[in-house]
Structure 1
Amino acid sequence: MRLAIPLAIIGGALALLLLFPGEERILGMAPEQLAQFAGLAAFAIVIFGSMLGMFRGQWTRAVQALAFWMAALVMLVGLYSYRDEITVFGNRILGELSPGTVVPGPSGEVSVVRSGGGSFVVDAEVNGRGARFILDTGASVVVLTSETAARIGIDVERLSFSRPVRTANGSTTAAAVTLDTLAVGPIVERRVPALVARPGSLFQNLLGMSFLERLAAYEIRGDRLIMRPRS
């Protein structure tokens, strides 16, 4: 009998949802609001009834226990309501603790915290494999080390290293390739022109303009790199 009323509330809400499918408002509430209200009401009645049974004649303890459960319920509802904001906050904390970690934003943008060395290290995926890049706006294209290229499935030994390039270590040659996908967090670009550096000539992957120019915008704000996709 103790569960009769909660089950009736849930059953009534379910019946209304089945009788009025597709309706924008049912009893003045949106369908999802009606379902949430029914669930919370049933939960509250079960808790209240349990409190009365457990603390019969001990009203002070009953009120204290009821207050505890109501506070817990309010906290859970609040956490659920602000779940997106909490996720963004958690990602930003992770980004601060681990430079290079890509932190997604609420509008599709991503941000990366500057590393201790002063550069922006960006964790990305190339052809579905993880790779770490250094932001280099002076590089006209994305550049991969030969080790990274081999790890993502490029046959380095069959490449033609005929394109002259200039790096911080001097002049060298590289091989032109096209990356199937280059992803930084939720930002995914396809068919990205890139270069593979000659073995031993480069020791860091460079995130160059062949990726950056496809973005709607990118900016450096303090110690944070922010990249926004076009769509």
Structure 2
Amino acid sequence: MRLIVPLAIIGVALVLLLLFSGEETIAGMAPDQLARFASLSAFGIVIFGSMVALFRGRWSQAVQALAFWMIALVGLVGLYSYRDDITVFGHRILGELTPGRVVPGPAGEISVVRSGSGSFDVEAEVNGRTARFILDTGASVVVLTTETAKRIGINVDQLAFNRPVRTANGSTMAAAITIDTLAVGSIVERRVPALVARQGSLFQNLLGMTFLERLGSYEVRGDRLIMRPQT
């Protein structure tokens, strides 16, 4: 019996939505607002009726239980309303705890916390495969290690290592390639010119200018590297 009124409310709302489908307003409310109002009203009546039956003669306990569930409902609605901000906050905390992790920001901005060594180790994806890079503004191009090149499907045995380059380990030869996609967080660049260093001459991938120059901007602010996409 307690379900008659809630079901009647939902039934009336459905009839109105069917009769006035295509209308901008129904009974002074937008169709989605009417649907939400009907469902919330029915739910509230069911909860209220259940509490009356459960706490009959114990009204003080009923009031306490109602207050608890109202607070819980408000809390859940608040969490849902600020879910995007909470997600960003969570990413920021993880970014502080794990240097190199890309933290999303507003308008496509991303940031990375400096590692303990003083450099910026950046998590990225090369042709869909995870790879870690060292930010190197002195490198004119993106440079991959031979191991990373193999992991993303490049046949290094067919490359021509005829480009002289200088690394932290000295001079070596490298081969020119084009990376199909290079993604750092939400920033994705395609057809990025790059080099593959000869085996054993480089042990870290370098995030050089052929990626950085495509950004809208990038800056180092304290211990944080901030990158912004082109607008």
Task: Name the TM-score, length of structure 1 as normaliser.
Answer: 0.92
Instruction: Give ranges in structure 1 of 5+ residues lacking alignment.
Output: none
CA RMSD of aligned residues (A): 1.8
Matched, 1:58 2:58: yes
Instruction: Give ranges in structure 2 of 5+ residues lacking alignment.
Output: none
- Equivalent residues of 1:135, 1:206 under 8 A apart: yes
Compute the displacement of 1:117 (Å): 1.1
Aligned to 1:142: 142
Compute the displacement of 1:158 (Å): 1.1
Aligned to 1:106: 106
* 1:199–1:28 Cα change, 3 Å: farther
Aligned to 1:133: 133
Corresponding residue SS for 1:73: helix
- C-alpha distance after superposition, 1:62-95 (max 9, x if no partner): 1011111111111111111111111111111111
Compute the displacement of 1:36 (Å): 3.4
Compute the displacement of 1:18 (Å): 4.3
Aligned to 2:76: 76
Distance in 2 (alpha carbons) for counterparts of 1:105 and 1:12: 45
Structure 2 counterpart of 1:76, which letter?
L
Corresponding residue SS for 1:89: helix
Corresponding residue SS for 1:85: helix
Distance in 2 (alpha carbons) for counterparts of 1:223 and 1:170: 28
Matched, 1:153 2:153: yes
Aligned to 1:229: 229
Percent of aligned pairs with the same residue? 79
Compute the displacement of 1:168 (Å): 1.5
Matched, 1:119 2:100: no
- C-alpha distance after superposition, 1:173-213 (max 9, x if no partner): 11000001001111111100000001000000011111111
- Equivalent residues of 1:47, 1:66 under 8 A apart: no
Structure 1 counterpart of 2:221, which letter?
R
Matched, 1:166 2:169: no
Distance in 1 (alpha carbons) for counterparts of 2:31 and 2:216: 37
Compute the displacement of 1:135 (Å): 0.7
* 1:137–1:34 Cα change, 3 Å: farther
Distance in 2 (alpha carbons) for counterparts of 1:127 and 1:97: 27
Distance in 2 (alpha carbons) for counterparts of 1:186 and 1:21: 39
- Equivalent residues of 1:162, 1:174 under 8 A apart: yes
Distance in 2 (alpha carbons) for counterparts of 1:35 and 1:220: 49
* 1:64–1:215 Cα change, 3 Å: same
Distance in 2 (alpha carbons) for counterparts of 1:204 and 1:99: 16
Compute the displacement of 1:167 (Å): 1.1
Corresponding residue SS for 2:202: coil
Structure 2 counterpart of 1:42, which letter?
A
Compute the displacement of 1:60 (Å): 0.6
Corresponding residue SS for 1:42: helix
Compute the displacement of 1:106 (Å): 3.2
Corresponding residue SS for 1:112: strand
- Equivalent residues of 1:95, 1:103 under 8 A apart: yes
Distance in 1 (alpha carbons) for counterparts of 2:226 and 2:15: 48
Corresponding residue SS for 1:99: coil
Q: How many pairs are equivalent?
A: 231
Q: In terms of mean alpha carbon deviation, does 141-150 or 34-43 score higher?
A: 34-43
